[in-house]
Amino acid sequence: MSQPHDDHHDDHGHQSRFIQHHYDDAQHQFDSGKLGIWFFLVQEILFFSALFVAYILYRHHHPEIYAYAHHYLDVKWGAINTAVLIVSSLSAAWAVRCAQLAQRRGLIACLVITIVCALGFLGIKTIEYSHKIHEHILWGKYFDPCVASAGNHLLNKGNNCPGVKTSVVWDGKAGKAKSGCLEGNYDQNPAEPGIQGKCEVIEVVGANRRPIEACEEVPGKSGGHGKPAKFPCYELALNPHVCPAGPAAMVLYGDHGHHGGAIEVRCDAVPAPAAPADAFADPAHVPTTGERTFAQHKAKSKHELAHEFASGPPPEHTNMFFSIYFAMTGLHGIHVLVGVFVFIWLLWRAIRGDFTPDYFGPVDYAALYWHLVDLIWIFLFPLLYLIH
């Protein structure tokens, strides 16, 4: 596909001025570069390989984390990015052909398309990342999603109530939580018997994080535009200490702005079978609102169950999924960024008219690199977004 025309093989006078002196001719230089880029790509694959091994290992040990956590990745954005990268790979390959045929304008157009697609990919990735940063769905130590005030001890034992942001104080008498660390206060102030089985409202004060979405099932109190809760917003109430009788419970995040906004937490009394002691260990049985019982849950469609599964309390060390997610997509993103710079450099050279049928190696090599970057994404997309 990509052999340079070597009509002028022996005629050094007509050769591109970019043929370096220590090569015999243009073909020799091209072949050397091609072999070099292939070795480089092998190196790249091995560079990524450790991350894939880590992915496989943790998925093997903790399939529940992957099944749970991937719901927080948006398949829509992932799919769009896949399409964007495939288009850019096509335009990169086309650029090589244009360079071979000395079609300078076609080459420039193809390079521009490639750069635009690469930037588009990065833009979409930025949208995805900023959502996650906003919701504190981050890697390792910083995995601290919105309900972490209560969920911390479930999510991650090593991550004790990390500061004021997510801290709440549970006031058992008032049935309210003030500012402070909820986790630390359970033990000192266990929920009073009066709360049991009753409909109680807990207010979480001092949480300056913007609430995500409220549980919309409460008529008239929805803060979430009718969307189902995105993260387990009932975590607080589900805690046996808070709502000991409540398998059916809910939490409502008051939409009161950034700082000092109150978060309401409601435990709705439910005439339902008592919760199994290990309700947390069995996320499929997690109810979402006070109106629902376990029996109703079982009757739900697979899709609904899957969704509720996603909204259940995260398995321990869910942070590891996001560590791997950010490591893999981050490293891939860096490669895309490098690709952008390489293609901008090629564009500059193409406009200057450097590339001829005798000398188009850099375009070819960059395209090969770009195909590999594309290919890695083709693996990342199903491995991270499409888990079943």
Residues that bind other proteins (CB under 8 A): 20-22, 24, 28, 31-33, 35-36, 39-40, 42-44, 46-51, 53-54, 57-58, 139-142, 156, 158, 316-317, 319-320, 323-324, 326-327, 331
Question: Which one, 24 or 304, has the nearer CB to other proteins?
Answer: 24
Residue with smaller CB distance to other proteins, 184 or 330: 330
**By C-alpha distance, which of 84, 74, 83 is closest to 120?**
84
Q: Which is nearer to other proteins, 45 or 284 (CB)?
A: 45
Residue 76 Cβ vs other proteins, minimum distance, rounded to whole Å: 26
CB of 139 to other proteins, least distance (A): 5
C-beta closer to other proteins: residue 155 or 270: 155
Residue 330: CB minimum distance to other proteins, A = 8
Query: Least separation, in Å, of the C-beta of 284 and other proteins?
Result: 22
CB of 307 to other proteins, least distance (A): 25
Closer residue to other proteins (CB): 50 or 281: 50
By beta-carbon proximity to other proteins, the closer residue of 267 and 320 is: 320
As measured in angstroms, the least distance from the Cβ of 247 to other proteins is 27
